Amino acid sequence: MTKQSVLLLEAYGNSGEVLVDAILAEGFGVVVATHRALFEGYSERLRGKIDTTLFVDYASATIRADLVDAARPHPIAGVVTGWEFFTPLAAEVAADLALPGNDPDLGLAARHKWHMAKALHGAGVSHAVTVHGADLDALTRQIESNGLDYPVVVKPVENAGSIGVRVVEDPFELRPAVAEAQNWPLEFPHDVPLDTTVIAQSYVGGREYSVESLASDGEIRHVAVTEKATTQGAFRAETGHTVPAPLEEPGRGRILEETTKALRALGFRNGAAHTEVKLWNGRPWIIESGLRPAGDHIVKLVTLATGTDYPRAYVRAATGGGLPEVDAAQRHAGVRFVFPERAGKVAAVPAFEAGEGVVEGEILVSEGDAVGGAADNISRLAYVIATGSDRAELDGRLDAAVKSVQVDVE
């Protein structure tokens, strides 16, 4: 009997090798679709784990048909991706190959923030008031005609990683915010064209969390709730994540209930989902959701804290398998990111030294690199992941590890 494989839409990035390992651990072969230039940059270790590489152009108008044609000769059991930009494509390719997947007719709603807002509103999900405009004048008119009060949050409709996202305190700040949001017409690194229209949303206060979920044949199960830490001010870059989030009932239950409602509205049927949510005055507000595993090493935190191998569970769900039982967290796990205090050039980079409880870490820059301020998730200097028997022990280990990373920027 021919061994079945899983099609991975891109292995580039910090989740790529994690998903490759999960596919192999589940007993499948690995078929990766990528750009030839990106494949050349894969490590020898990663390339050695891939059975078949499909060289495609994700920016092509015919990418859906190209992927289906390239995949048909292989016995594919499922389609997975850790790349947010490719979640609609994954649903479409899975449908064309008659494989388990999310609703392809709702694929855009699970990726494009304006279509997402309309889908959530239509399903009665608690979601920020959202308006949409092609340029500054159109967005200004929509803010005024819909009676949005400042502050508002301005976002590009198709980007990710907090790029181009800004909290705008008054109308005078709107022009530079819209200009920044529209400054990213292409996705990196595949050069996929992005819609450059912009949304503005009413500002939602409260603590921010994310819910890490799995689905198989329409059954949804929430595996963990993650506490999110961000910078303050106009830009809200994510500075760290912790599993489990310190949430009491009934707040936790309300968050999970609203997340389920949102995911159903977005056509979540098979695979993994990462939903960002705030709890404000006891009420959960869905910020946005991506039908793919979380980035920022959160899948590792879920595995470390709960004992559930989250990447493997994703592969199992995406290939029509069952869902894992969800148990209480066995320990605490967290990641913290090191940002530059100012924009400049990296003058010196230390060797990374793991401290007590630190399970992983990496310096992300090299001497001579230009770095920006802490405006988004691409401005990071380093990260550290640690575990602890309780929250206090975890925080102590992470704080010590972050302080030990001294990257000089001048």
**Each residue's pLDDT tens digit, 270-302:** 999 999 999 999 999 999 999 999 988 999 999
Separation between Cα atoms, residue 209 and residue 229, nearest integer Å? 9
pLDDT value of residue 374: 58
Per residue in 106-141, pLDDT (tens digit) is: 999 999 999 999 999 999 999 999 999 999 999 999
Give the pLDDT mean for 338-363.
81
Percentage of the chain lying above the pLDDT 70 cut: 97
Q: Measured in whole angstroms, how far is the alpha carbon of residue 52 from the centre of its chain?
A: 26
Tell me the pLDDT band of 355, cut-offs 50, 70 and 90. Answer: confident
pLDDT value of residue 405: 81
Give the C-alpha distances (Å, rounded to integers) separating 5 from 147, 159, 362. 52, 30, 31
The answer as to CATH 3.30.1490.20 being correct for domain 129-202 is yes
- Within 10 angstroms of residue 264's Cβ, the number of other Cβ atoms is 17
More confident residue, 162 or 293: 293
Angle between helices 113-122 and 251-265 (to 10 degrees): 110
pLDDT value of residue 329: 82
In the chain, where the domains are located: 5-99, 129-202, 207-330, 331-410
Whether the Cβ atoms of residue 270 and residue 215 lie closer than 8 Å to each other: yes
The encoded tokens of residue 393 equal: 């022990």
pLDDT value of residue 233: 65
Residue 201 β-bridge partners: 130, 153
Whether the Cβ atoms of residue 266 and residue 289 lie closer than 8 Å to each other: yes
More confident residue, 327 or 213: 213
Which of 183, 179, 208, 204 lies closest to 194, judged by CA? 183
Contacts 24+ apart (CB under 8 A), 64-69: 64/89, 64/92, 64/93, 64/96, 67/7, 67/9, 67/33, 67/93, 68/93, 68/96, 68/97
Residue 198 β-bridge partners: 133, 156
Separation between Cα atoms, residue 207 and residue 219, nearest integer Å? 28
pLDDT value of residue 234: 63
- Within 10 angstroms of residue 291's Cβ, the number of other Cβ atoms is 31
Peptide bond into 340 cis (omega under 30): no
Is the pLDDT at 312 greater than 90, yes or no?
A: yes
More confident residue, 154 or 341: 154
pLDDT value of residue 235: 65
Give the pLDDT mean for 223-233.
87
**Strand pairing of 408-409 and 130-133?**
unpaired
- Within 10 angstroms of residue 396's Cβ, the number of other Cβ atoms is 14
pLDDT value of residue 317: 97
Alpha carbons within 13 A on the beta-carbon side of 408? 8
CATH number of 331-410: 3.30.470.20
Whether the Cβ atoms of residue 188 and residue 376 lie closer than 8 Å to each other: no
The answer as to CATH 3.75.10.10 being correct for domain 5-99 is no
Tell me the pLDDT band of 347, cut-offs 50, 70 and 90. Answer: confident
Average pLDDT, the chain: 92
CATH class of the region 207-330: alpha beta
Q: Do domains 129-202 and 207-330 have the same CATH topology?
A: no
pLDDT value of residue 29: 98
Separation between Cα atoms, residue 255 and residue 99, nearest integer Å? 30
Whether the Cβ atoms of residue 214 and residue 289 lie closer than 8 Å to each other: no
Tell me the pLDDT band of 36, cut-offs 50, 70 and 90. Answer: very high
